Amino acid sequence: MGTRTYTESRQSRKGHRKFSLDYLAQHLSPESFVRIHRSRIPNLEAVEAFERHDDKRVRARLKSGTTVVASRAWSSALRGQAT
């Protein structure tokens, strides 16, 4: 069984709620967010470009200067967008 990855959301005075990234991936707008790794779902507005990382993977170059390497499985879906 795979590792479950969670994120927390603060909702004013109601405290915290935990969401699995699988749940978020299913409920976030695909026009605004893209899953690139089991633990990464960047906002597309923060992505400057998708670039080739190596023969099998791509990476997202964020506007902040950070790069995030996509998993091989997600890279195959993103390869057409890589420069």
Return the pLDDT at 45: 94
3-class SS of residue 6 = strand
Please report the beta strands in 1-83, taking only residues with DSSP state E, as ranges in sequence order: 6-10, 16-20, 47-52, 58-62, 67-69
Across the chain, mean pLDDT equals 83
Return the pLDDT at 13: 60
Token pair recorded at residue 79: 């390869």
Mean pLDDT of 48-53: 94
pTM to 2 decimals? 0.71
Reply yes or no on whether the pLDDT at 15 is more than 80.
no
Contact 74, 57 (CB under 8 A): no
What count of other Cβ atoms lies within 10 Å of the Cβ of residue 79?
14
